[in-house]
Structure 1
Amino acid sequence: MRLIDLRSDTVTRPTPEMRRAMYEAEVGDDVYGEDPTVNRLQERAAELLGKEDALFVPTGTQGNQVAVLTHTRRGEEVIVEAEAHVYIYEVAGIAALSGCQVKPVPGVNGAMDPEAVAAAIREDNVHYPRTGLVCVENTHNRSGGCVVPTENIAAVAGAAHRRGIPVHMDGARIFNAAVALGRPAAELVAPVDSVMFCLSKGLAAPVGSLLVGSRDFIAEARRHRKLLGGGMRQAGVLAAAGLVALELMIDRLADDHANARRLAEGINEIPGLAVDMATVQTNMVLTEVTDPRWTAPALVQALREEGVLCNATGPQHIRLVTHKDVTAADVEIALATIDQVVKAGPQ
């Protein structure tokens, strides 16, 4: 039985072009700055994002945590959106690694109210931690891949910058946002001081993320990458796939978005399931299980047994993610399977 894997876009397999580039990659010792393929990848990432420099890191989580370490000092406070990946899914890294506490600000589909962010910035008082950083996220994972409007990012960044506070963007899927808006990624990240984006999600590279920012910021971030064990050696073997991803895999994200919309529309036609179509903006579909016979975990298990993989995100919610290894035909098969399983009820 062929599995249709809708758990995440992290499950993508490298393309033949990536495998060939990895095999043929020119390499050197990247800790010494001597890997030419890594250097080319970093230069290309900085160019695409409109920043001065970039740093290749193994994972998006490490990229975010390196950014926090670089921007802050121990004992400071980091303002984040209340459902942010850096707060929910990174193992309390801000506290454990940077020695900072988090101040969550509720948002709407990932967008924080700039006035709420301004109000959350600490006054100069001996009793309070200093606000050291504001973090934003685009696209926003927990809202189902919603695109945070660039105008909102700019307003939040303006509120922080007026108080001398830097802004970091978790842009793991920033190219999904760029494709959805039809705007260059550099334009979307222009208001922020640093941004991390992933190669290993929708762009389908097997490993790696980039942290991008000013030249001085990246020089210091390199030290923190080493601290966290991210100083790789002949990493050009991995970076080569990233170069292919940036060259060939960005524009095709539109296919994933189209497949996600078709998936969402089809799910909405199945009695017992519901999708808020306003949140289907990129490659994710958040589905509410309204059939009282089913819980989300039970339905996920039943679908797995029929060859459709997805993840429960709560007792009554399921997330499905499209990517380059899910075709339009796969979406139709998945919809037919979901319809059949839901209607049949728990066995």
Structure 2
Amino acid sequence: MENSAQNIMIEAARERLFRDAKIDVLSATQDAENEKARAEVARSFISDTLTVPTPKMQAYAVQASLGDDVYHEPTAIALETAIARLSGKEAALFMPSGTMSNQIGIRTHLKQPPYNVLCDHRAHIYKYEVGGLGFHSGAAVTPVLPVNQHHLTLEDVEANVTLGTDMHYAPTEVIALENTLNGTIIPQNDVLAIAAFARKEGIAMHLDGARLWHVAAETGIPLSELCAPFDSVSLCFSKGLGAPVGSCLVGNADFIRRARRFRKMFGGGMRQIGALVGAAAYAVSNNLSFLPGVHALTRKLEKGLEEIGCEITSRAETCMVFFDPTSIGVELAELIERAAALPHPIRLSGSRLVVHIQTAPETVDDFLTLVRTLAEEKRAAGFVRLAQAVKTNGKNGIYKEVFVRTSLSRSL
């Protein structure tokens, strides 16, 4: 009787557990909510990471194989083989994120500290990866401000690299570039010059190529040629190409073998990842061809802002444009608030505007209309731009016109 009563209690407890464990993450209006999300993404300039899987991508992804990637996953192997071929490298390794791909790539290069990583002061690996170089690799970092204010050159590298055996300094063992960086393209000749210097000094070259697809699409330079100067490259599927997650680290076979162990150590040894890999494969196959259109739409946005009178602080070389609306009397906070209050809101978070494969062309038109309206309101309120002549540093003392931003009251 005692055992029978105990069994009844256990069975009742199981029933409660099973009942309480029923979880439904789908809402009753999930399809409608997904369509709303797609509509919102089409009107966002915040980032290209906000793009969402299309129904076709989802349908393709769920057909992927069901293997375990720690052991053998056919879909992952197929994608890695294809990306290795595209990049001109021996091997590739799928990662859940670009941050992991960068951090493991650099960690795999580094052997025994002390060591130093040289990069642009704006680099993602330095500014936006939570201090990972110090935490994961114990690496010192030399962030460099490019003299040309656009991209690192050999002269910048030579002026900041640490060579030799002086015990006071951590030697530079990795030079890490980023292409694109804030949407701008590093000229390939400058990349080759830096790579030749690095080879001569025995320094590894890593590329954060999260948006390298944009460079290939804009310049026509094959991906393999863009990757050739580097010992390792991180290529992203969610930035630019529209996959939900994922990056690939590429390099030679021995490098990727060692990186795979670090991936496991970092917690990236994934199991049945076929659906994620399938989405990434779909993104490369179907969305890469959209990038020239993205660049054209970005240039249209830039031209419109410039015609209205906004200052362009970083030009639209690929999918981003940076601007300053204070030249028309508008503060960014006001513009963000007015854009969010439109009947069909537009989302932006600052001076960086990112156009992506799901940006609706009418979003660009609506945004330019809003900026133009605000500019007209400020002029009606008395805001003017006064021009004055200032002497340049040119050899002939040539004068040029610059704008002094002044807000004048209506009474003036």
With normalisation by structure 2, the TM-score equals: 0.78
Identity of aligned residues (%): 38
The answer (yes or no) to whether the contact 1:61–1:90 under 8 Å persists in 2 is yes
The answer (yes or no) to whether the contact 1:299–1:342 under 8 Å persists in 2 is no
Select 1:284's aligned residue among 311, 320, 332. Answer: 320
- Inter-CA distance 166–153: structure 2 relative to 1 (3 Å threshold): same
Shift of 1:162: 0.7
Shift of 1:201: 1.4
Counterpart of 2:311 in structure 1 is 274
Aligned mates of 2:142, 2:246 — CA distance in 1:
28
Counterpart of 2:373 in structure 1 is 340
What letter is aligned with 2:321?
A: V
Counterpart of 1:63 in structure 2 is 101
Counterpart of 1:128 in structure 2 is 169
Shift of 1:290: 2.2
The answer (yes or no) to whether the contact 2:60–2:278 under 8 Å persists in 1 is yes
Any runs of at least 4 consecutive aligned residues in structure 1 with deviations exceeding 6 A, and if so which? none
The answer (yes or no) to whether the contact 2:329–2:375 under 8 Å persists in 1 is no
Residue 19 (structure 2) pairs with residue 19 (structure 1): no
Counterpart of 2:398 in structure 1 is none
Residue 118 (structure 2) pairs with residue 79 (structure 1): yes
Shift of 1:192: 0.8
Counterpart of 2:190 in structure 1 is 152
1:140 match: secondary structure? coil
Residue 164 (structure 2) pairs with residue 118 (structure 1): no
What letter is aligned with 1:302?
A: R
Between Structure 1 and Structure 2, how many residues are aligned?
335
The answer (yes or no) to whether the contact 1:13–1:205 under 8 Å persists in 2 is yes
CA deviations over 1:40-99 (Å, ceiling 9, x no partner): 111111111100000100111111101111111333100001211111111111111110
Shift of 1:342: 4.7
The answer (yes or no) to whether the contact 1:46–1:52 under 8 Å persists in 2 is yes
1:112 match: secondary structure? coil
Residue 145 (structure 2) pairs with residue 106 (structure 1): yes
What does 1:167-316 align with in structure 2 at a 5 Å threshold?
167-271=205-309, 273-276=310-313, 279-291=315-327, 293-306=329-342, 307-312=345-350
What letter is aligned with 2:120?
A: E
The answer (yes or no) to whether the contact 1:268–1:275 under 8 Å persists in 2 is yes
Aligned mates of 2:74, 2:265 — CA distance in 1:
23
Gaps (5+ residues) in structure 1?
313-317
Shift of 1:335: 1.5
What letter is aligned with 1:246?
A: V
1:256 match: secondary structure? helix
- The structure with more radius of gyration: 2
Aligned mates of 1:297, 1:135 — CA distance in 2:
34
Counterpart of 1:138 in structure 2 is 179
Residue 384 (structure 2) pairs with residue 321 (structure 1): no
Select between 120-129 and 294-303 the one with higher mean Cα deviation: 294-303
With normalisation by structure 1, the TM-score equals: 0.92
- Inter-CA distance 265–215: structure 2 relative to 1 (3 Å threshold): same
Counterpart of 1:315 in structure 2 is none
2:308 match: secondary structure? coil
CA deviations over 1:205-230 (Å, ceiling 9, x no partner): 11101111111111111111112111
- Inter-CA distance 239–342: structure 2 relative to 1 (3 Å threshold): farther
The answer (yes or no) to whether the contact 1:197–1:209 under 8 Å persists in 2 is yes
The answer (yes or no) to whether the contact 1:84–1:110 under 8 Å persists in 2 is no
Gaps (5+ residues) in structure 2?
1-35, 379-412
Aligned mates of 1:231, 1:75 — CA distance in 2:
28
Residue 44 (structure 2) pairs with residue 5 (structure 1): yes
Aligned mates of 1:253, 1:202 — CA distance in 2:
8
Aligned mates of 1:296, 1:270 — CA distance in 2:
15
Aligned mates of 1:320, 1:304 — CA distance in 2:
15
The answer (yes or no) to whether the contact 2:236–2:246 under 8 Å persists in 1 is yes
Shift of 1:320: 0.7
The answer (yes or no) to whether the contact 1:109–1:140 under 8 Å persists in 2 is no
Aligned mates of 2:376, 2:266 — CA distance in 1:
49
What does 1:46-61 align with in structure 2 at a 5 Å threshold?
46-61=84-99
The answer (yes or no) to whether the contact 1:7–1:311 under 8 Å persists in 2 is yes
CA deviations over 1:86-119 (Å, ceiling 9, x no partner): 1111111111111001001222455212033123
What letter is aligned with 2:303?
A: E
Aligned mates of 1:332, 1:292 — CA distance in 2:
18
2:288 match: secondary structure? coil
Aligned mates of 2:117, 2:271 — CA distance in 1:
32
Aligned mates of 1:116, 1:136 — CA distance in 2:
12
Aligned mates of 2:50, 2:61 — CA distance in 1:
19
What letter is aligned with 1:119?
A: A
